Structure 1
Amino acid sequence: MLADLAALVNVESPSLVLDQIERSASTLASIIERHLGGECELVASPAGPHVHWQGGGDPKVLLLGHHDTVFPMGTLATRPFDVTDGVATGPGVFDMLGGIVQALHGLAKVDDTSGVELLFSADEEVGSIHSRDLIEERAQACGNVLVLEPSADGGGLKTGRKGCGTFEVVISGRAAHAGLEPENGVNALIEMAHQVAAISHFGDASVGTTVTPTVATAGTTDNVVPAEARIKVDVRVETADEKARVEAAMAGLAVVDPSASIEVFGHIGRPPMPESASATLFPLAELVSPGIAGFAVGGGSDGNFTAALGVPTLDGLGAVGGGAHADTEHVVVATMPERAALIANLVAAITA
């Protein structure tokens, strides 16, 4: 498993760096074919190839993941793949190359994989824009989805996820000399302050909704009235009703200064994954791995899409470790055989 993990990590695969995504897809396909036989299909897309493998029989379960990572080219030079004191480190080991490797080794121990499909997309980390249709099509065809995203704390599975999205609010004002004639300007920064205050009230902790302004920019230099300001807003919701409410609230933002103007872009692109989505699959996981825990979490994955279609979905079946998207990303090596066995036993139970 560590050799396969090293092979994947050592092909850096930042989202949308197409030549690297192509190398990653080719490397991943060769590993899949070595373990499971058959032939992978590399599904071309503007984001690079998605890797698709089919067992050849009546499909019953889709194992879903992604081979793109968030780390820029060159990360490997400063943080190469390494295993020290039972911990594997390197860009992408936890999210989510370790989960892919565990799944392949687990499936290699399953007697009959004819009902299994694998799909590893090229653009999950940037919104799955070019893979969503394919993911939804194969999820509906298979009828069950196991998502190989990293585990929750302590190796728990993810039985629910919030829907999530990013908005950008663009405020247009009018530039003027800040010292000589500020009254002739329309200060987009001041208008932005009003909008941030309004947006901060859109969340509702009682139903798990968070609406968080995260990035703000305004102005060009210190002696010019700012003519433009921009706000990025992160949104997380647990229900479809809250998705609709927040999207309407963001679309309804209105300027305080009538001389300014406002535009709102974005939406909640990943619908919520309700805990009901895992109602049939989590009990199977408990059966094959007694004592395993399940948690609803705030982050989104491609499992949000499949769950929204009504396809039974269980998430967090990947690596145990931590530090996703950070320099501290790591996988606890001793847990890798256990997670491989979990996948093998769960797939066998689903396809029996």
Structure 2
Amino acid sequence: MPRTISAADIDEAALLSELKHWVEIETPTRDASAVNRLADRVEATAKDAGLEIERTAGTLGFGDILAVRSPRPAGSNEKGILILAHLDTVHATGTIKKDLLLRQEGDRLYGPGIYDMKSGALMALEAMKIAVHTSTHLPVDLLFMPDEEMGSASSRGLIEAYAHNAAYALVVEPARDGGKIVIARKGVAMYDIVVRGRASHAGSRPQDGRSAILAAARLVLELEAMNDAERGITVTVGTVHGGTGRNTVPAECRLQVDLRLPDGETAYEILKKVENLAPLDPDITVEIKGGLSRPPFALSEEGRRLFDHTARLAVELGIMLEGVSTGGGSDGNFTAALGVPTLDGLGADGAGAHTFDEYVFVRSIAPRTALLANLMLTLNGAL
């Protein structure tokens, strides 16, 4: 049995110093070169620690995907621990100079992307270095994605490829509501709907027109009626764009729709309803594009055992863990949907994700880094 890592084993000052460097390299998802600059720093740090690197060139206009791997015997195919992190943020370049200055106020360390999720990503790398140099039961793969904030379109294939050789998946998205970790997430679906009618003069020939906005309004009511709080179904028409002027019967209207769905059966039911939406007027056409972008992440029995094991380790560090379900998606949705026991929200505690008030609690970083290291040291083939 390897020795237990404590918060005192974590060089907090060095970790915070490096975290500030990571935050200073602003990495909006669509700026591939900026994301790659941070990936360069991560790669150099991992190589200095004796870890193996596999770097996959970015696609679809996104940055590179970086895999940091523990050394393993040639030809080994033992299933191991997959850790998921991302380097991209929602904040535009320049945020750190104006809207969200990098600063510490008491226990709060502020900065763009510091909570979601540069702190968690760095903590995972530090914990991996400690665990690998101590002695792990299972091989460890740490993936740094460049596009999680925009749905992981370029990363999903590689995540799923690694997941097929994983016994467990740990996701270092930020903790929730005072340090809680995520044991389940809703699936996420997105649709773009285009309603087409026929334009005409609103004053002289209104009878010749077919209002796309009127037809779209009826669809909005149908979509919003699918909301069901008891079942955990959320359907939101987020944007509506239509028409060309106040005196013209509108020929086109576009809707953007977001859905959050608790499980696979519910997802199948609701997505079928959305995709079968049809206008009442035969002169109106509806084009529906989209679908499930992140499958539901339901809590499995194996996932429950993984949480229980993690909670026991946390107690030794003075952390009382609580598991929660959330409507937000992450890359953990992909691993859980493939049957890999998955825990999420293992990053730093804090608040303000995606806002100009984003911060982490400094006091959470060392113990939660130690928790990650202890997970890597204690997970084996069966819990």
TM-score by shorter chain over 0.5: yes
Contact 1:25 1:49 in 2 (8 A): yes
Tell me how far 1:95 sits from its aligned partner: 0.6
Q: What do you get for the CA RMSD once the two structures are aligned?
A: 1.6
Match of 2:113 among 83, 88, 92: 92
Tell me how far 1:108 sits from its aligned partner: 3.0
Tell me how far 1:206 sits from its aligned partner: 2.6
> What is the alpha-carbon distance in structure 2 between the residues aligned to residue 141 and residue 280 of structure 1?
19
Partner residue in 2 for 1:224: 248
Verify: 1:29 aligned to 2:31, yes or no: no
Partner residue in 2 for 1:280: 305
Contact 1:59 1:117 in 2 (8 A): no
| Identity fraction in percent | 37
Contact 1:25 1:42 in 2 (8 A): no
Tell me how far 1:45 sits from its aligned partner: 2.3
Partner residue in 1 for 2:86: 66
Partner residue in 1 for 2:97: 77
Tell me how far 1:30 sits from its aligned partner: 2.1
Verify: 1:310 aligned to 2:339, yes or no: yes
Contact 2:115 2:348 in 1 (8 A): yes
2:152 is paired with a residue whose SS is coil
1:108 is paired with a residue whose SS is helix
Contact 1:59 1:116 in 2 (8 A): no
Partner residue in 2 for 1:51: 66
**Any stretches of 5+ residues in structure 2 without a counterpart?**
1-14, 73-77
> What is the alpha-carbon distance in structure 2 between the residues aligned to residue 92 and residue 149 of structure 1?
11
> What is the alpha-carbon distance in structure 1 between the residues aligned to residue 92 and residue 334 of structure 2?
26
Partner residue in 2 for 1:241: 265
Partner residue in 2 for 1:107: 128
Match of 1:298 among 327, 349, 352: 327
1:1-352 correspondence to structure 2 within 5 Å = 1-34=15-48, 36-46=49-59, 47-57=62-72, 58-78=78-98, 79-110=100-131, 111-113=134-136, 115-276=139-300, 278-290=303-315, 291-351=320-380
Tell me how far 1:351 sits from its aligned partner: 4.7
TM-score (norm 2): 0.88
> What is the alpha-carbon distance in structure 2 between the residues aligned to residue 140 and residue 7 of structure 1?
34
Amino acid at match of 1:112: S
**Any stretches of 5+ residues in structure 1 without a counterpart?**
none
Amino acid at match of 2:50: G
Tell me how far 1:3 sits from its aligned partner: 1.5
> What is the alpha-carbon distance in structure 2 between the residues aligned to residue 2 and residue 182 of structure 1?
65
TM-score (norm 1): 0.95
> What is the alpha-carbon distance in structure 1 between the residues aligned to residue 144 and residue 362 of structure 2?
22
Contact 2:52 2:71 in 1 (8 A): no
CA deviation vs aligned residue, 1:14-68 (integer Å, no higher than 9, x gap): 112221122121122223334x323422211212201101102245201111111
Contact 1:102 1:340 in 2 (8 A): yes
1:275 is paired with a residue whose SS is coil
> What is the alpha-carbon distance in structure 2 between the residues aligned to residue 292 and residue 262 of structure 1?
48
Contact 2:52 2:70 in 1 (8 A): no
> What is the alpha-carbon distance in structure 2 between the residues aligned to residue 225 and residue 142 of structure 1?
56
CA deviation vs aligned residue, 1:109-148 (integer Å, no higher than 9, x gap): 3202572111011111111111111111112212111000
Tell me how far 1:322 sits from its aligned partner: 0.9
CA deviation vs aligned residue, 1:232-266 (integer Å, no higher than 9, x gap): 11111111111111111111000122211101111
- Number of positions where the alignment pairs a residue of Structure 1 with one of Structure 2: 351
> What is the alpha-carbon distance in structure 1 between the residues aligned to residue 159 and residue 281 of structure 2?
45
> What is the alpha-carbon distance in structure 2 between the residues aligned to residue 218 and residue 303 of structure 1?
36
Contact 2:125 2:142 in 1 (8 A): no
Amino acid at match of 2:195: I
2:268 is paired with a residue whose SS is helix
